Structure formats: structure tokens, C-alpha cells
């Protein structure tokens, strides 16, 4: 509990008062009640159990990824490989397009996340203005987009007409404004005290100034959340690479390369004749290569979270408001 | 949160209002153009649902068949069963998903060991990155009648006398899917609530402590109300998604014996539509889902509005 | 201040618009490009003769291909691919189906109107032809004898579209000279050699005998040497792979694998095998064995991975399957040194006296194949590429690799591989970098054009005997045979309508018979497992029949198939 109110140094100047409160609370908390102790013990046990169940699948995947492919078919591998090998990683990393794919994945994640988060936050700002006359209409227009879709072929045709096929832009533009993320940010903005923007308005600040200088910084926890959602979405998506950029090897992404490995086994074989299956069967990707590919493609994005966690610190926003 | 006087103001001083709002309106224009191009223009594809769409003829020249595709869907007993399955799993996912996410977010924010807290948080979202193929593989292992941990436990505790094949029993299927979802997504879903909890003013907890409130009381009176707006927004949005109960999990976990409860709308459409080179059936089912979703969120939204809670529009 | 904010807003608006306009511009460019290409097509076609000449003088053409099946992408600097390209002046970049169904992928391509040079539509083939996406190959093939002579006139007639043109070349099932026939790659009842050895290599002819042997073996050997329990029989029912449960009845009745029906040899009528008395007896037998615990209790909830895991452990005594479907498991069994747990096929029938037909000669699937699309702006070049790929020298490169690196030749001209080459041949990373089978381009089976070697290493008898596990050799000796195929009856000449699955695979729900087929699959997938695990077989069987007859329009289904049988007979007779 003590550290819950610890404030990262870079914004310390904003939140002196909170820090003081935190100190006071420290002293107060040292007198823990029996209830507290029971609660914390139970909580600790729950968290340990929870962690184990959540960690197991990944550890298992890592174990399988280091195990010989044919041997792994037998199953029964849990936390440690039975026949250790680097071959699966070699098989995945030896795929020729991996360096290009990694570059494009990083680029689309960075550019896509920065643009989308900013633009979505801007829309959220517009729609969080209480007196904006088209607030309701514009919100509705965006809410609807979450539940309707023209379908695969019409969307493809529109993007093609826009010149988005075989282009990097197809990774950025279609997902630039997300209704879901906008609503999440707007909800957070609605929770901020109105006095903030009002006083700025009296000082003569324009909307863009208020948004960039005041509201956006105050929304860091939710911005971090949305950035995380967007980054993970960008990193994990492969369908767009497959559908729009299939023939452009220089625009392939890591997840698409992974999917190519996976799909040899997961795509339904309906319509495949026995004879054609014979020709495909030698190509079925072993489970262990799948596991290696999963580890390789998910590790980088998993590492993102700890960096964003510093924004999930209580007191940050309200501290600013208090000043 | 909405301003009740908004409407009246708009009517009386609309010109002045308009001038004040110039910037907001200007800012909105690109967003409107954007959404029209990227979301509403492709909706022209809905025409497909009323056609016998052939890619060679395109949207403009395919044969019109009116409501035939819808009739095909709704005249089929199987489709009604499939709607039931989708709804059931959608609701189970919604309830279990929301409850576990909130519970986990609260427990984590109350967790005392700061280092452990970050670790637990990071670990909690790991399963989100594993594909369903891997996750369902583990579900199979856990539930197996041969050395599956669940059956071992139940047999050793003498709750059952011989291993039970949960995956062969239609009664259990929806819940297995529900719990698989919980397992994979709890950590991920809780992120948004964790962010919401950070926005709660520490003053409130401080004041409550001084009043002698215990931990549970503080959770009940401060944390829960603090995340209420987020809860309502997510709830309304997710209610619109109950018919999107998924495809992959059911497809991977399902088998012949539980087929009557495992098929979802998406699986049905794949089998009877897309795999049969019938591109229209999927669009018809999609329209049906969209209409139901929109009706549901409008109802949910109005209810939230009436209750004075956060709402979408 | 106000000015600044409106400028800011405007410039943002402008930026977004500019972005979109930019896109619109490029799309305009794309469109004109497309036109230019289309316009140029006629030109290139006309000048094709000159073109091909140019290619041989050093410049390497690159074609593109899309295969609507999952597959493995080769590295672009693939060794054999480059070797082939040097010889024929062309290569092809292959892309495969990823995370979509074939119909979806093909539908999007047709809607977009842009294709790769070559295309394999898989189950979307008919859609492609209907959409006019393919060029008629028969109008170009006169200069390309390898293509034209790939099939006989009679066979091409089977492939021809209703308009009389040939749009696709079926790639598989074309046997050169004769089938080396060592491995039975298709469906059969399989049984482990240890079971046969224990039972003294009895002659197994009927379903009852088959289960009897397994039952007795299990009773005597409830566990493996390491103590894990043996499993008598496994049935895979994962998705489309549930053929392992459902299609045995027609084999038991002595018919070949037509897939979707039985065809009566005399009346030429299609017969539904799902409700025959044999089907009932087969499922009743499975039901009895399930109750006795011979069949794995969790067999119907296994997915493919777990099925392979169970087989790989060497515990499973027998099952019905196609060999290619469990080949990986057999490799795993061998890797553990459990050679006596590998499988041999047995030709089981329902009653003694019925002649089994599990092994069939490779048959022509006239409904699927590779085509050249209208987007290809060098059709002559593409035809030459197809033609060159069928050249004996190139075929050897595709199927065996490069001499000295991938295989060796002995003094008699017989190809063989050393230990390292064999290891490389199963290493996917090595294959991607080095071997280029062009696996979905037309290829021969059976013998290599030199008449000495098998078409590819897997079918080379010497390689086959080299790799044969000791217990299998012993088993073969006991039965007086040399190969897996000889465990079964020799194949008979295929009937003119065989295989019927090449017709039913192209069904869609638009037709009553197509809808019937989907419904039949649905009902069988749900009710047949229920029948097998039922406490009361009769009730469960009757329930299955009721639902089946209620939901499936078998009459329309069988009529459509019968008509197709007649049509194929007519073509074969040259009408």
C-alpha cells in the first residue's frame, strides 16, 4: 500500500501535496489491523495461485519450443524439454523474411500506436466537451462502427480503390480511429474536473492548447492503456498483411510469417483430396516449431508492459488537478 | 454527465453557440470524413445479403434474391439452436469476464508487495498472447481422463469414482469455454480497470481510513464507485458483443458429441456459407448480428442514461 | 489565440484529407497501370516467341503463383530453384493459403480482379473458371508437347469444361510407367506388428477377426513394457478428419474409395453407404468394443494433435486411417525405438468372401488443378515454364535435387542417398533453403523418366527397404510379401467414374444435393459417435436414422451422383 502513492520523480513537482499525504498515510498504515492481515494473506495466496496458472501455459510453450519436434508429438511435456534442441528456433529464424518482417512489425507498431493513440484521444477530447452540439450524433456514428462491418470483400474493394493494397499505409489508416479506445479515453476525460479546462479557457487557451497541454498529460494512465491495446493489436495483426500485401514481401510482418507456419496445420482440409494431402503432409509444421514461433513473436510485445506500468500509478492525475 | 440544458441552449442561441463551437466542428469534420470512408462506404456490401452474390458479377450485377438468404437462415432449426448457443456463451463470457477482471484488478491494486505486484500484473496478461491452439491444447491436458489434473483431483478427493470426460458432455461445454476465456483474458481485461482505479483520488482512501473504514469497506465505498463509469461503458459495449461469442475456441474444443451446443453463428456461417462459395449467407448473418447488437446497446445505453450512469451517446 | 487554434484544427483536417487524397491518387495510378498491363497483354502474347528466346539468353523471368492450400514457402535464394531457373530461364514465387478458406481467398481475388500468374483454386476452382479468371490452356498448348501429352486425349476430355476448353491441369495422380507401389498411402484398417507377432501372424480377413486379435492381445498384454496401459483402438473424429469413423462401411462391402457413395458396378447407381446393413453391423461392432473398453474412452473428444500424441506413444494397437494422416506419429514411434509398434495395413471386410479394394491406382481428379490466369501478361512464357517443368531433367531436379548434393548415383544408374542426405530430406529448414519441388505444379508419380529410378526418393524401392524397421520385415516375411501394398489386394483397374469424390467435393449449398451433403456430414458427425458410445445400440441407431432421414435429402444427393456416374461413363466411351 505504501508504494501505491509513490510518484515517479519526473512529475514530482506537480504532486507535492499528494506525496505529503502519502507520508502521512505511511505512518497511519503501520498500525495494521487483524482484518488487514487476514485480507493480505488471503490476497497473497490468491495471487500466487493465479500467477502459477497464468505462467504455466507460457512456460509449457517455452519447454515445447526447446524440445525435439518428433518427440514432442508424444505430448506429456510440462515445464522442461525432454529432448533439448535449438533446431526449432533455427527453423523459424532461418526463414528468409524474418528480418524484413521484424522491421515492418516494429515500424507499424510504433507509427500505428503513436498516430492512432493521438488521433483517437483528440476525438475523445472533442466528444468529451460538454457543450459540443454534435456530441451525441458524432458519438453514435462512431459507436455504430463497432457493431457493423461491410464484410471481407466490400472492405477489400474499398481499400483497393483507395490504393491501400500493397502499401504500408494499410497498416496505419484503417485502424487509426478506434471507437472502443475513444470511448475508454472519453470516459476517463469525463471524470476529470471541469474546472481545469474552464480556467484555461478563461485564460484564453484554445481547444488544441487545452488538449495538448492540459488534458492529454492528465490522461496518461488511460493513454498508456490505450497505447498498449493499440500496440498489441498492431503487433498481433496478420490478416491485413495477408489480405492486402500478400505479394509484397517487403511489407510482410512477423505475425504473418508466424501464421504461414501455423496455417499448414490449422486450416481445414475440406476440399482437399487425399492425393493433394499426401503432398502436403510432409510439410505439416511440428508443434515445437509452432511453439518456438510463438515465443519469438510474443516476447518483444510482452516486454512492453513493464515499461508502461509506471503510468499506472495512482495519484498522478489527481495530483495535477489539486495544484 | 450529459448536460440536460444542452438541447435548449442549442435552439435558442444556436448562432452564437455555433461560433463558439467552430473549432470543435472543424475538428470533427476530418473524423466524419474518415468514418464515412473507412466504415460506412464498405457497408454498401450489405447489398450482398439480398443477392446471390457471385464475385465475377460483383455487387452491381449479381442476381437479386430478396430475403431468400434470411429465409434460409431462419427456416432452419439448426440456426435457431446456433443462435441459442452463441447467446449462451456470449452471456457467460460477458458475466465471467467482467466479474473476474474487476475482481482481479481490485485484488491486485490492494496487493501489498510492490515488486510482486508488477510481476503478477505482467504475468497475468501473458496468456493473452498465446494462440487458442496452444491454450485449448492445455485445456485438453487439464481435463483429460488420463492423468488430467482435474480428474486426478476429483478422484483422489472421492468426489467422483472414475475419471469423467467433461468434453464429451454437452452440459459442461459452455462453461469450459467460459473458463478457458477467463483463463486467457482476465489479466488482459483487468488492465482497463487498473487504469480506472489509478484515477481515484488517494484523498478518499485517506479520509475513509481516518473514519476507521476497513479494507473491504474502502473497496466497497471508494474503489467500486470509482470504477463505475468504466464498468458501465464496457458493459454497454460488451452487451452489444454477446452474439460475437467467437469461433476459434468452440471450433477447437468442440467435437461430434457436443456439436449441438458448441456451434456458434460464425461456425455455422463457415460451414453453410463461405465453405460453399456462398458469400451472401455470411453477410445476411452479419446483418442479423449487427441489428441485434445495435438494439441491445441502444436499450442498455438508455437504461444507463436513466440510471444517471456513464453512457455511450 | 483563436486564429492559432483554428489554424491548428484546419491544418489537422487538411493533413487527414491530404492523406486520403494521396491514397486516392495512388489508386488512380494503380488503375491506369492495370489498364496499361491489360493493353500490353495482347502485345506480349503476340511477341511471345521472341520473348522466350530472350529468356534463354540469360535473363530470368519471375512468375507468381497462389495455391489455395496451406503450404510451405521456399526461400527466394533456394538452391535447386536457382539451378532450375538457370536451366530454363524462369522461376516462380509461390504463395500459399494462410488463415482463410480457399473460397474466401479466391472470392476476394475475383472481386479484386487481380491474380497471380498461376493459380490453384483448390475447392474454389469452379468459381475461378466461372469467373473467367483462367485462360484456355488448350489454345496454347500446341507448341508445348510436355503439357499437351501430360494426359491422354481421353483424360483431357474428362478435364474439359462444359465449353470444351481445358482451363486447369490436374497435377497429381499421373503415373509414369508403373507405380513402384511400396507404401499404401491411403485408407485401411491398420494394426501394430507387435500384435500380429504375438498372435502368430494370423490371416485377418473380417472385422470380427480384426477386433478379436486386438481383444486377445490386450487381455494378454494390458500394458506396454514401461507400464503405460495399451489402447486397443482409436477413432479420430476431429472435424473433416472424421472419415476415420464414417467411411469404413464401403470398404467393408468391398468397394473402392469413391468417398461419397458406393457405385453399383452393374446398375451404375449411386448407393448411400451410411445406412446399409453393413454400416449397421460395423457401428454395432464398434459399440460392443467400446463397451468392452477396447476403444479408448476419450477417443471422440480428441483433436488431431492429441490423436497423434496417443499414436506416437506406441500404445494404440489399431485404427482406421489414411497413412499420410498418421505418418508423423509413426516417425515418432520409430524415434523412440518402438519399431514393433509401427503399423501394417489389413484389408478387412464384413464377411468372408468379399474381395477388398483398399488399394486403388492413382486416379485423375479432374476437378482441381493449376491454371494460368488472365492477369498473366506472358501466357506463352507461362506455358513454356509448365512445359519445362515436365522436362525429364527438370523433373529429376524437382523430385530428387542435385546429383552429388542431394542424392548419389551408383554404377547401375540407381539413385540413392547417404545418411546425411536422408537427414536433410526431413529437415524443414534445409528443405526451404535447398529443395524446390514446385509441389503444386504438374508432376509425375511412379517412375522417373530414366526408367530405372522411382519418381521420387520416398518411392525408391531401395530407399524403402533400407528404412524398413526389422519387425515389419519379419511381419512381411511371415505373410510372404515384400511391401505394404502387398499386404492388401492388388489394385484393379479404376472404373471410368472413379473417384466420385472429385465430383462431390465441388458441391455447394446452392443445390439441393450440395445442401444434403453438408447436412449429412453434420448429422453423421454428431450422431455416429453417439451411436458408438450408446448404452442401447438399437435406440441410438434408430435415432440416428430418424434424424438422418429427416434432415438429409439423400434422394437428391444420390440422383446427382448417379447422373455424374452416367456422364463419366459416356465421356469414357467417347460420346
pLDDT tens per residue, range A254-274: 999 888 877 654 433 333 344
- B38 in a structural domain: no
Give how far the C-alpha of residue C565 lies from the chain's centroid of Cα atoms, to the nearest Å.
22
pTM: 0.84
Give how far the C-alpha of residue A268 lies from the chain's centroid of Cα atoms, to the nearest Å.
29
Interface probe, candidates A207, A242, A274, chain C, greatest C C-beta count within 10 A: A274
The strand pair at C316-322 and C445-446 is best described as unpaired
**What span, in angstroms and rounded, lies between the C-alpha atoms of B26 and C13?**
7
Residues from chain B contacting residue C101 (CB–CB below 8 Å): 270, 274-275
| Best CA proximity match to A226, nearest among A321, A107, A115 | A115
In the predicted model, residues of chain B with pLDDT beneath 70 are 1-20
Residue C260 confidence (pLDDT): 92
DSSP output for C458-490: GG-HHHHHHH--HHHHHHHHHHT-SSTGGGSPP
**What span, in angstroms and rounded, lies between the C-alpha atoms of A110 and C233?**
53
Three-state DSSP class for residue C492: coil
Domain positions in chain C are 56-176+364-456, 187-358+468-572
Q: Do domains C56-176+364-456 and C187-358+468-572 have the same CATH topology?
A: yes
The strand pair at C370-372 and C118-120 is best described as antiparallel
What are the start-end ranges of the E strands in C118-219?
A: 118-120, 175-176, 187-192
DSSP output for B180-222: HHHHHHHHHHHHHHHHHHHTS-HHHHHHHHHTT--HHHHIIII
Residue A312 confidence (pLDDT): 67
C99 touches chain A (CB under 8 A): yes
Q: Are B189 and B97 in contact (CB under 8 A)?
A: yes
Residue A162 DSSP label:
T
Residue B133 confidence (pLDDT): 83
pLDDT digits (tens, 9 = 90+) for A193-250: 888 888 887 887 888 888 998 899 888 888 998 999 999 999 999 999 999 998 888 9
Residues from chain C contacting residue B277 (CB–CB below 8 Å): 103, 107, 123-124, 126-127, 508
Residue B241: domain span: 72-306
- On the 0-12 / 13-18 / 19+ scale of CB atoms within 10 A, B93 is buried
Please state the ipTM of this predicted complex: 0.86
Max mean pLDDT among A95-104, A172-181, C501-510 falls in A172-181
Residue C202: phi and psi, rounded to 5, are -75, 160
pLDDT digits (tens, 9 = 90+) for C485-500: 999 999 888 899 988 9
Which residues, 6+ apart, have CB-to-CB distance to B173 below 8 Å?
B167, B253, B254, B258, B261, B262
Element (H, E) at C169: none
Q: Enumerate residues 241 to 260 of chain B having a beta carbon within 8 A of any beta carbon in chain A.
A: 241
Alpha helix (H) residue ranges in B22-169: 22-35, 58-61, 68-74, 77-109, 114-124, 132-143, 149-156
CATH code: domain C187-358+468-572 is 3.40.190.10
pLDDT digits (tens, 9 = 90+) for C335-394: 888 999 999 999 999 999 999 999 988 888 888 899 999 999 999 999 999 999 999 999
The pLDDT of residue C269 is above 60 = yes
Q: State the nearest Cα–Cα gap between A118 and chain C, in angstroms.
A: 12
Q: Are B109 and B223 in contact (CB under 8 A)?
A: yes
Pull the grid cell for residue C245. 469413423
The pLDDT of residue C219 is above 70 = yes
Which residues, 6+ apart, have CB-to-CB distance to B87 below 8 Å?
B242, B243, B245
Pull the grid cell for residue C434. 535447398
pLDDT digits (tens, 9 = 90+) for A31-59: 567 888 888 888 889 889 988 888 888 89
A111 touches chain C (CB under 8 A): no
Domain count of chain B? 1
Q: What is the mean pLDDT of residues A99-118?
A: 95
Q: State the nearest Cα–Cα gap between A94 and chain B, in angstroms.
A: 22
C526 touches chain B (CB under 8 A): yes
The pLDDT of residue C575 is above 70 = no
**What span, in angstroms and rounded, lies between the C-alpha atoms of C459 and C362?**
14
Residues from chain B contacting residue A131 (CB–CB below 8 Å): 3, 6, 9, 17, 20-21
Residue B212: phi and psi, rounded to 5, are 85, 20
**What span, in angstroms and rounded, lies between the C-alpha atoms of A226 and C569?**
65
* pLDDT band, residue A283 (cuts 50/70/90): very low
Place of cell 519399431: C339
pLDDT digits (tens, 9 = 90+) for C544-555: 999 999 999 999
A276-290, C201-215, C250-264, C430-444: lowest mean pLDDT where? A276-290
Candidate from C13, C103, C306 with C-beta closest to B277: C103
B22 touches chain C (CB under 8 A): yes
Q: What is the mean pLDDT of residues C428-456?
A: 88
CA distances from A270 to B183, C69, C219, C507 (A): 31, 10, 39, 12
Which residues, 6+ apart, have CB-to-CB distance to C409 below 8 Å?
C403, C415, C416
Residue B20 confidence (pLDDT): 67
Residue C386 confidence (pLDDT): 96
Max mean pLDDT among A133-137, A303-307, B270-274 falls in A133-137
CB-based contact A271 C123, cutoff 8 Å: yes
DSSP output for C275-329: SSHHHHHHHHHHHHHHHHT-B-TTGGG--HHHHHHHHHTT-EEEEEEEHHHHHHH
Q: Are C390 and C147 in contact (CB under 8 A)?
A: yes
The pLDDT of residue A4 is above 60 = no
Three-state DSSP class for residue B133: helix
Q: State the nearest Cα–Cα gap between A178 and chain B, in angstroms.
A: 10
* pLDDT band, residue C166 (cuts 50/70/90): very high
**What span, in angstroms and rounded, lies between the C-alpha atoms of A288 and B249?**
21
Interface probe, candidates A32, A42, A46, A158, chain B, greatest B C-beta count within 10 A: A158
- B247 in a structural domain: yes
**What span, in angstroms and rounded, lies between the C-alpha atoms of B204 and B193?**
18
Pull the grid cell for residue B204. 478518499
Architecture of domain C56-176+364-456: 3-Layer(aba) Sandwich (3.40)
CB-based contact C69 A280, cutoff 8 Å: yes
Span between the terminal Cα atoms of chain A, in Å: 24
CATH of the domain at B239: 1.10.3720.10
- B274 in a structural domain: yes
Residue B14 confidence (pLDDT): 61
**Angle formed at CA C168 by CA C166 and CA C171, multiple of 5 degrees:** 130
Pull the grid cell for residue A258. 508466424
* pLDDT band, residue C16 (cuts 50/70/90): very low
Q: Are C9 and A207 in contact (CB under 8 A)?
A: yes
Interface probe, candidates B215, B228, B253, chain A, greatest A C-beta count within 10 A: B215
Candidate from C9, C325, C329 with C-beta closest to A73: C329
Which residues, 6+ apart, have CB-to-CB distance to C164 below 8 Å?
none
| Best CA proximity match to C366, nearest among C178, C177, C564, C509 | C564
The pLDDT of residue A8 is above 60 = no
Q: State the nearest Cα–Cα gap between A228 and chain B, in angstroms.
A: 9
Q: Are C155 and C342 in contact (CB under 8 A)?
A: no
Residues from chain C contacting residue B165 (CB–CB below 8 Å): 297-298, 301
Q: Are B313 and B302 in contact (CB under 8 A)?
A: no
Residue C408 DSSP label:
E
Residues from chain B contacting residue A2 (CB–CB below 8 Å): 114
Which residues, 6+ apart, have CB-to-CB distance to B32 below 8 Å?
A138, A141
Q: Is the peptide bond before C499 cis (omega within 30 degrees of 0)?
A: yes
Place of cell 441485434: B292
The pLDDT of residue C200 is above 90 = yes
- B5 in a structural domain: no
C536 touches chain B (CB under 8 A): no
Query: Closest residue of C to B69, CA-based?
Result: C510
Interface probe, candidates C103, C308, C534, chain B, greatest B C-beta count within 10 A: C103
CA distances from C213 to A275, C188, C208, C217, C310 (A): 31, 16, 9, 6, 20
The pLDDT of residue A139 is above 60 = yes
Amino acid at each position: 500500500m505504501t508504494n501505491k502513492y509513490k510518484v515517479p520523480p519526473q512529475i514530482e513537482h506537480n504532486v507535492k501535496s499528494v506525496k505529503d499525504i502519502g507520508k502521512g498515510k505511511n505512518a497511519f498504515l503501520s498500525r495494521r489491523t487483524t482484518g488487514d492481515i487476514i485480507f493480505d494473506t488471503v490476497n497473497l495466496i490468491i495471487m500466487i495461485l493465479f500467477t502459477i496458472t497464468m505462467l504455466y501455459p507460457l512456460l509449457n510453450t517455452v519447454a515445447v519450443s526447446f524440445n525435439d519436434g518428433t518427440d514432442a508429438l508424444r505430448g506429456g511435456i510440462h515445464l522442461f524439454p525432454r529432448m533439448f534442441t535449438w533446431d526449432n528456433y533455427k527453423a523459424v529464424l532461418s526463414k528468409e523474411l524474418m528480418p524484413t518482417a521484424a522491421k515492418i512489425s516494429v515500424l507499424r507498431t510504433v507509427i500505428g500506436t503513436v498516430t492512432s493513440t493521438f488521433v483517437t484521444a483528440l476525438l475523445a477530447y472533442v466528444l468529451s466537451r460538454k457543450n459540443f452540439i454534435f456530441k451525441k450524433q458524432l458519438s453514435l456514428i462512431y459507436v455504430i462502427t463497432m457493431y457493423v462491418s461491410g464484410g471481407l470483400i466490400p472492405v477489400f474493394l474499398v481499400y483497393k480503390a483507395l490504393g491501400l493494397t500493397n502499401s504500408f499505409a494499410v497498416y496505419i489508416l484503417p485502424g487509426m480511429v478506434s471507437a472502443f479506445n475513444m470511448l475508454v479515453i472519453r470516459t476517463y476525460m469525463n471524470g476529470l474536473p471541469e474546472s481545469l479546462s474552464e480556467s484555461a479557457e478563461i485564460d484564453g487557451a484554445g481547444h488544441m492548447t487545452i488538449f495538448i497541454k492540459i488534458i492529454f498529460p492528465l490522461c496518461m494512465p488511460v493513454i498508456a492503456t490505450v497505447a498498449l491495446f493499440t500496440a498489441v493489436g498492431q503487433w498481433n495483426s496478420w490478416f491485413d498483411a495477408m489480405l492486402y500485401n500478400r505479394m509484397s514481401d517487403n511489407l510482410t510482418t512477423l505475425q504473418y510469417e508466424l501464421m504461414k507456419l501455423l496455417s499448414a496445420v490449422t486450416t481445414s482440409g475440406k476440399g482437399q483430396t487425399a492425393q493433394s494431402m499426401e503432398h502436403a503432409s510432409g510439410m505439416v509444421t511440428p508443434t515445437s516449431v509452432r511453439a518456438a514461433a510463438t515465443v519469438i513473436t510474443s516476447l518483444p510485445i510482452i516486454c512492453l508492459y513493464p515499461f508502461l506500468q509506471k503510468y499506472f500509478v495512482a495519484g498522478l492525475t489527481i495530483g495535477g488537478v489539486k495544484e | 454527465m450529459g448536460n440536460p440544458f444542452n438541447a435548449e441552449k442549442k435552439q435558442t442561441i444556436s448562432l452564437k453557440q455555433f461560433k463558439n463551437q467552430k473549432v470543435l466542428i472543424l475538428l470533427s469534420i476530418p473524423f466524419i470524413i474518415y468514418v464515412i470512408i473507412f466504415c460506412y462506404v464498405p457497408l454498401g456490401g450489405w447489398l450482398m445479403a439480398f443477392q446471390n452474390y457471385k464475385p465475377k458479377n460483383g455487387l452491381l450485377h449479381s442476381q437479386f434474391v430478396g430475403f431468400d438468404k434470411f429465409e434460409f437462415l431462419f427456416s432452419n432449426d439448426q440456426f435457431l439452436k446456433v443462435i441459442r448457443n452463441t447467446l449462451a456463451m456470449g452471456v457467460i463470457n460477458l458475466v465471467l469476464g467482467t466479474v473476474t477482471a474487476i475482481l482481479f484488478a481490485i485484488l491486485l491494486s490492494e496487493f501489498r508487495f510492490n515488486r510482486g505486484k508488477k510481476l503478477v500484473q505482467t504475468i497475468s496478461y501473458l496468456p493473452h498472447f498465446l494462440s487458442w491452439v496452444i491454450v485449448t491444447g492445455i485445456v485438453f491436458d487439464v481435463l483429460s481422463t488420463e492423468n488430467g489434473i482435474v480428474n486426478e483431483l476429483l478422484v483422489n478427493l472421492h468426489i467422483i469414482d472414475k475419471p469423467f470426460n467433461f468434453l464429451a458432455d454437452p452440459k459442461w461445454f459452455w462453461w469450459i469455454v467460459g473458463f478457458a476465456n477467463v483463463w486467457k483474458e482476465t489479466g488482459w481485461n483487468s488492465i482497463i480497470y487498473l487504469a480506472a482505479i489509478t484515477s481515484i483520488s488517494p484523498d478518499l482512501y485517506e479520509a475513509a481510513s481516518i473514519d476507521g473504514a476497513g479494507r473491504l469497506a474502502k473497496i466497497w465505498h471508494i474503489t467500486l464507485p470509482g470504477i463505475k463509469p468504466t464498468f458501465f461503458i464496457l458493459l454497454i459495449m460488451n452487451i452489444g458483443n454477446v452474439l460475437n461469442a467467437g469461433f476459434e475456441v468452440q471450433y477447437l474444443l468442440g467435437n461430434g458429441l457436443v456439436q449441438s451446443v458448441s456451434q456458434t453463428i460464425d461456425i455455422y456461417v463457415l460451414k453453410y456459407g463461405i465453405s460453399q462459395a456462398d458469400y451472401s449467407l455470411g453477410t445476411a448473418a452479419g446483418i442479423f448480428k449487427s441489428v441485434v447488437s445495435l438494439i441491445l446497446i441502444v436499450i442498455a445505453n438508455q437504461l444507463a442514461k436513466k440510471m444517471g450512469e456513464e453512457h455511450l451517446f | 489565440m483563436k486564429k492559432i487554434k483554428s489554424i491548428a484544427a484546419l491544418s489537422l483536417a487538411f493533413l487527414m484529407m491530404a492523406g486520403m487524397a494521396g491514397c486516392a491518387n495512388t489508386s488512380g495510378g494503380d488503375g491506369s497501370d492495370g489498364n496499361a498491363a491489360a493493353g500490353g497483354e495482347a502485345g506480349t502474347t503476340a511477341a511471345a516467341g521472341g520473348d522466350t528466346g530472350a529468356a534463354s539468353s540469360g535473363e530470368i523471368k519471375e512468375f507468381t503463383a497462389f495455391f489455395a492450400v496451406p503450404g510451405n514457402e521456399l526461400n527466394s535464394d533456394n538452391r535447386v530453384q536457382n539451378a532450375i531457373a538457370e536451366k530454363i530461364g524462369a522461376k516462380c514465387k509461390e504463395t500459399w493459403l494462410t488463415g482463410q478458406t480457399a473460397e474466401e481467398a479466391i472470392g476476394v481475388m475475383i472481386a479484386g480482379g487481380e491474380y497471380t500468374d498461376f493459380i490453384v483454386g483448390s475447392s474454389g476452382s469452379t468459381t475461378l473458371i466461372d469467373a473467367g479468371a483462367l485462360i484456355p490452356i488448350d489454345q496454347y498448348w500446341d507448341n508445348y508437347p510436355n503439357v499437351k501429352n501430360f494426359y491422354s486425349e481421353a483424360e483431357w476430355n474428362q478435364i474439359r469444361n462444359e465449353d470444351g476448353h481445358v482451363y486447369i491441369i490436374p497435377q497429381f495422380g499421373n503415373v509414369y510407367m508403373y507405380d513402384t507401389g511400396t507404401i499404401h498411402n491411403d485408407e485401411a484398417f491398420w494394426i501394430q506388428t507387435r500384435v500380429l507377432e504375438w498372435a502368430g501372424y494370423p490371416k485377418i480377413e473380417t472385422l470380427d477377426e480384426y477386433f478379436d486379435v486386438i481383444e486377445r492381445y490386450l487381455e494378454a498384454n494390458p500394458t506396454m513394457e514401461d507400464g503405460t496401459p495399451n489402447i486397443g483402438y482409436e477413432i479420430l473424429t476431429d472435424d473433416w478428419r472424421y472419415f476415420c469413423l464414417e467411411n469404413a462401411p464401403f470398404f467393408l462391402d468391398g468397394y473402392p474409395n469413391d468417398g461419397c457413395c458406393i457405385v453399383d458396378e452393374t446398375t451404375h447407381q449411386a448407393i448411400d453407404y451410411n445406412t446399409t446393413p453393413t454400416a449397421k453391423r460395423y457401428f454395432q461392432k464398434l459399440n460392443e468394443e467400446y463397451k468392452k473398453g477396447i476403444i479408448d474412452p476419450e477417443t471422440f473428444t480428441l483433436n488431431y494433435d492429441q490423436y497423434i500424441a496417443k499414436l506416437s506413444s506406441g500404445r494404440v494397437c489399431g485404427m482406421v486411417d489414411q497413412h499420410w494422416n498418421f505418418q508423423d506419429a509413426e516417425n515418432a514411434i520409430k524415434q523412440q525405438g518402438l519399431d514393433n509398434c509401427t503399423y501394417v495395413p489389413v484389408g478387412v471386410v464384413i464377411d468372408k468372401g468379399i474381395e477388398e479394394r483398399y488399394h486403388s491406382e492413382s486416379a485423375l481428379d479432374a476437378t482441381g488443378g493449376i491454371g494460368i490466369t488472365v492477369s498473366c501478361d506472358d501466357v506463352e512464357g507461362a506455358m513454356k515454364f509448365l512445359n519445362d517443368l515436365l522436362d525429364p531433367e527438370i523433373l529429376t531436379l524437382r523430385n530428387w535435387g542435385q546429383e552429388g548434393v542431394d542424392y548419389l548415383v551408383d554404377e547401375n544408374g540407381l539413385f540413392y542417398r547417404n545418411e546425411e542426405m536422408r537427414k536433410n530430406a526431413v529437415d524443414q529448414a534445409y528443405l526451404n533453403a535447398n529443395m524446390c519441388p514446385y509441389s503444386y505444379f504438374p508432376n509425375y508419380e511412379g517412375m522417373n523418366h530414366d526408367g530405372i529410378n522411382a519418381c521420387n526418393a520416398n518411392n525408391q524401392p531401395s530407399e524403402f527397404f533400407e528404412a524398413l524397421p526389422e519387425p515389419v520385415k519379419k511381419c512381411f516375411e511371415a505373410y510372404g510379401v515384400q511391401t505394404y501394398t502387398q499386404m492388401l489386394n492388388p489394385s484393379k483397374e479404376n472404373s471410368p467414374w472413379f473417384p466420385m469424390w472429385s465430383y462431390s467435393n465441388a458441391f455447394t449449398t446452392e443445390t439441393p444435393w450440395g445442401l444434403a451433403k453438408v447436412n449429412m456430414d453434420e448429422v453423421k458427425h454428431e450422431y455416429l459417435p453417439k451411436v458408438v458410445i450408446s448404452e442401447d445400440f438399437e435406440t441410438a441407431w434408430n435415432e440416428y436414422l430418424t434424424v438422418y432421414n429427416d434432415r438429409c435429402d439423400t434422394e437428391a444427393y444420390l440422383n446427382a451422383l448417379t447422373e455424374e456416374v452416367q456422364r463419366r461413363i459416356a465421356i469414357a466411351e467417347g460420346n
